[in-house]
Amino acid sequence: MKNLKSYGDRQIKLGATLSYFAIGIDIVAGLLYIPWMISKIGKSDYGIYSLTLSFVTMFVMDFGIGAATTRFISKYRAEKNINAINNFVGLAYKLYLFIDVVIFAILFTSYFLLENIFVKLNAAEIEKLKVIFLIYGMFTLISFAFTPLNGILSAFERFSFLKLIGIATKVTTIFFIVLALLADGNVYSLVIVNAAVGLLGIIIKFVYIKKNLTIKINFKYKDYSLLKKVFSFSAFIAVSLILEQLTLNICPTILGSFSGGTTEISYFSIGRTLFTYVYAFGGAINGLLLPKVTRMITDSNIEKVNSLMVRIGRIQLFILGIIITGIFTVGKDFMILWMGKDYISSYYVALLLTLPYLVISTQDVAYMVMMCENKMYIRMISGLVTTAICLPLAIVLSKPLGAIGVSVAFLVASIIGYIIVTNVLYHKRLRIDVKGFFKKCHLQIMPSIILTAILGVLIQMLYPEVTVQAFIIKTFCIIFIYLILVWVVSLNKEEKEMLKGLIKKISKIISLHK
The answer to whether 296 touches 258, Cβ cutoff 8 Å, is: no
| 151 & 298 share domain | no
| 276 & 133 share domain | no
Print pLDDT tens along the chain (514 aa): 445 454 445 556 666 677 777 777 777 776 777 778 888 888 788 888 888 887 887 777 767 777 777 778 777 877 778 888 888 888 888 888 888 898 899 999 999 988 888 877 888 888 888 999 999 999 989 988 888 888 788 777 787 788 888 888 888 988 898 888 888 878 888 889 989 999 999 999 989 988 888 778 787 888 888 777 777 777 777 787 778 777 777 788 788 777 766 788 888 988 988 888 787 776 665 555 555 666 666 556 678 888 888 988 898 899 889 999 999 999 999 999 988 888 999 999 999 999 999 999 898 888 888 877 778 888 889 999 999 999 999 999 988 888 999 999 999 999 999 999 999 999 988 888 999 999 999 999 999 999 999 999 999 999 999 999 999 999 999 999 999 999 999 988 888 887 777 677 666 655 554 5
Smallest CA-to-CA distance from 331 within 276, 274, 404 is with 274
Q: What is the reported pLDDT for 260? A: 60
| 439 & 484 share domain | yes
Domain end marker among 187, 205, 222? 222
The 10 Å CB-count burial string (b at 16+, else e) for 453-480 is: bebbeebbeeeeeeeeebbeebbebbee
| 314 & 387 share domain | yes
| 198 & 258 share domain | no
- Number of structural domains (the chain) is 2
Whole-structure pTM value = 0.71
| 235 & 264 share domain | yes
| 285 & 321 share domain | yes
Domain end marker among 222, 243, 259? 222
End-to-end CA distance of the chain: 41
Q: What is the reported pLDDT for 7? A: 47
The domain of 275 spans 225-514
Q: What is the reported pLDDT for 469? A: 94
| 55 & 91 share domain | yes
Smallest CA-to-CA distance from 430 within 244, 294, 291, 306 is with 306
Greatest distance between any 2 Cα atoms in the chain: 70
| 466 & 482 share domain | yes
| 380 & 455 share domain | yes
Residue by residue, what is the 3-state secondary structure of 327-382?
Answer: HHHHHHHHHHHHHCHHHHHHHHHHHHHHCCHHHHCCCHHHHHHHHHCCCCHHHHHH
| 162 & 149 share domain | yes
| 287 & 162 share domain | no
Smallest CA-to-CA distance from 56 within 97, 103, 102 is with 103
- Residue 15: how many other CB atoms lie within 10 Å: 25
Domain end marker among 197, 222, 247? 222
